């Protein structure tokens, strides 16, 4: 989710990203797949913009997404989905959600 004020770079520190008055938070890490964030979203509705391909894996909870005015798609625990680069997407969390997001 690319609305952060900090960048994802290779450092010895974990970046902490806070969005929407603290209702969405993530920690930036380097994984075997490259840059990623592990985060949480409180129940609610949010809009994000991507700068690169994002592959999201839902760890717990349930959310729906709608990319650039398309149809709503529901994602539950263990689901994986992609959002293309340079897209705007809406997220509606029916419950609190935990996720990992990989950036390509």
Helix (H, G, I), strand (E, B) or coil at 66: strand
Residue 23's nearest CA partner among 52, 55, 5, 46 is 46
pLDDT digits (tens, 9 = 90+) for 66-86: 998 899 999 999 999 999 999
Compute how many other C-beta atoms are within 10 angstroms of the C-beta atom of residue 86: 12
Determine the topology of domain 15-103 in CATH: Jelly Rolls (2.60.120)
Q: DSSP characters for 13-42? A: S-EEEEEGGGTEEEEEEEETTEEEEEEEE-
pLDDT at 5 (0 to 100)? 47
Confidence label for 4 from pLDDT (cuts 50, 70 and 90) = very low
Q: What integer pLDDT is reported at residue 12 of this predicted model? A: 74
Using alpha carbons only, give the angle 47, 75, 9 rounded to the nearest 5 degrees: 55
Whether 54 contacts 101, CB under 8 Å: yes
- DSSP character at residue 95: S
Annotated domain spans of the chain: 15-103
Q: Residue 2 pLDDT more than 70? A: no
Question: pTM to 2 decimals?
Answer: 0.84
- Tens of pLDDT, residue by residue over 32-74, are 999 999 999 999 999 999 999 999 999 999 999 999 889 999 9
pLDDT of residue 98: 98
């Amino acid at each position: 989710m690319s609305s952060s004020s900090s960048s994802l770079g290779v450092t010895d520190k974990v970046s902490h990203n806070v969005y929407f008055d603290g209702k969405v938070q993530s920690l930036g890490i380097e994984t075997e797949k490259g840059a990623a964030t592990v985060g949480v979203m409180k129940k609610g509705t949010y809009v994000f913009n991507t700068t690169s391909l994002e592959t999201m894996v839902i760890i717990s909870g349930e959310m729906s997404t709608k990319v650039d005015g398309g149809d709503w798609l529901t994602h539950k625990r263990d689901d994986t989905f992609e959002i293309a680069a340079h897209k705007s997407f809406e997220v509606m969390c029916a419950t609190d959600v935990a996720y990992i997001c990989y950036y390509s």
